[in-house]
Amino acid sequence: MGKRGVNSNLSDTEKTDEKRSRHFGKSKKANKTKKPRREYRSIKQAFRETREKIWNKKRARVKYHYSFKRSYREEYKRNLPAPGLVSHALMSLKILFRNWKIFGLLIIVTVIANILLVGLLSEESYKTLQDSLDMSAEINNYGELGRFAKSGLLLISSITTGGLGTSITEVQGVLLVFFVATLWLITTYFLRHILAGNRPRFRDGLYNAFAPLISVFVILAVVAIHLIPFFIFLIVYSVATSTEFLTQPIYAFLFWLLGSLLIILSLYLLPVSLIALSSVTVPGIYPMQALYAAMDVIQSRRIRYITRVVFMLIFLALMWVIIMLPITWLDLFLKEEMGWLVGFPLVPICLQLMIAFSIVYVTTYLYLFYRRMLDATD
């Protein structure tokens, strides 16, 4: 009652002033308690924290060899249960043939888009190659080339041109790289779902496989960086052959010694980027994470991986000879017997189909072996 009596004696203006003072006093106290004190880090402290984060990432990675310390085989030996070279190559073909509808449609659509946007080796250019081979045979007094030998030389000449014209613009080169990355991504998407027991549709690959496209381009840039030693070797070799530098034995010995070191360096670096091309297609993985994961997977398995890649190239070359050589021979035979087939570009179209099939096969072969290594990782 006393408090009510005291407040009742105050005027209305005094009451409002008292309420305002209480309100603003509370708000000031509330503002003082809400604002946290900002902590400033020194440059030295920030450098220590970032260095500690980097070293934590390095400690988490797989390491089997240390500098200036002997590595014993028991310490770095890693089991890799994988099939033989021939069985793995045939297994890759078996997966493609089992799902021939989806992979065949992918190859056909890619070849059509490549012909429309990039181009195709014209029949005139192909005929020019034939005429040049005939002229060289006449000049060298070797007589007429046999049809089989001529088809083989035509196949080699067509492969060196890539099934395209003699001049390729910069836009066409960018489109070729885009088509290779597209085939790699869509094929990997189909393989991941097929191995998981699903039945992916072709439109699902077109709509959903392009998420890591930028990451794939970043890894392709890393592949180009890893190939720099090999490119240096090629440039130096072309200069040495044009200037007759290799005629001196001591200079030739030093050149081939340096060249072998450069080639070995590229062979040492390339497996990491090739594995990263497969691991970067996993959703949610960034390029650097894919590279670090590839380094962990390839540890103590580099020789086996390089052996697989070399055998894959040999097996692919045999497939090219078995498939494309009879087609080239048949093209020569039909155009000699039937004149109305002279303008039909049979060999260039088959060459484009084989190039697309080769990219799909290489992707399948490398992805299957990557899955083997990933399953066997400790």
Per-domain boundaries in the chain? 100-375
Tokens found for residue 220: 């392709």
Mean pLDDT calculated for residue range 104-120: 86
With H, G, I as helix, E, B as strand and everything else as coil, classify residue 68. Answer: coil
Check residue 245 and give its pLDDT: 78
- pLDDT tens, position by position, 141-182: 444 445 556 666 666 666 665 555 556 677 777 888 888 899
Q: HSE, CB side, 13 Å, CA atoms: give it for residue 346.
A: 16
Spatial separation of the C-alpha atoms in residues 290 and 241, rounded to whole Å: 40
Both tokens assigned to 67: 């500098």
Mean pLDDT, the chain, rounded, equals: 77
Q: Report pLDDT for 150.
A: 62
> Around Cβ 67, how many Cβ atoms within 10 Å?
4
Q: Provide the pLDDT for residue 314.
A: 94
**How sure is the predictor about 309, in pLDDT bands with cuts at 50, 70 and 90?**
very high
Map tokens 């056909």 to a residue.
108
Q: Which two tokens stand for residue 55?
A: 């070293």
- pLDDT, tens digit, 9 for 90 and up, residues 268-279: 999 999 999 988
The pLDDT, as a whole number, for residue 169 is 72
Residue 66: pLDDT band by 50, 70, 90 thresholds? low
Identify the pLDDT of residue 139.
43
Rounded to the nearest angstrom, the gap between the alpha carbon of residue 70 and the centroid of all alpha carbons in its chain is 34
Q: CA nearest 32: which of 24, 20, 40, 41?
A: 24
Highest mean pLDDT among 64-68, 102-106, 338-342, 370-374: 102-106
Which of 245-254, 304-313, 331-340 is predicted with the least confidence, judged by mean pLDDT? 331-340
What is the torsion angle, in degrees rounded to the nearest 10, for the CA atoms of residue 244, residue 246, residue 247 and residue 249? 160
Alpha-carbon gap, residue 68 to 64, rounded angstroms? 13
CA-CA-CA-CA torsion sign (306, 308, 310, 312): negative
For residue 252, what pLDDT is reported?
A: 85
Tell me, what amino acid is at 148? F
The pTM of the full predicted model, rounded to 2 decimals, is 0.76
236-246 burial: b if 16+ Cβ within 10 Å, else e: eeeebeeeeee
Q: Note the pLDDT of residue 285.
A: 86
Q: Do the Cβ atoms of 362 and 185 come closer than 8 Å?
A: no
What per-residue confidence (pLDDT) applies to 307? 92
pLDDT-derived band at 296 (thresholds 50, 70, 90) equals confident
Can you spell out the DSSP letters for 229-275? HHHHHHHHHHHHHHTTGGGSHHHHHHHHHHHHHHHHHHHHHHHHHHH
pLDDT above 50 for 28? no
Is residue 196 a contact partner of residue 225, using CB atoms and an 8 Å limit? no
Percent of the chain with pLDDT over 90: 26
pLDDT at 76: 63
**Which single residue is written with the structure tokens 């003072």?**
21
Pair of tokens at residue 31: 């503002």
- Closest by CA to 194, choosing from 275, 98, 104, is 98
- For residue 187, give both structure tokens: 């094929």
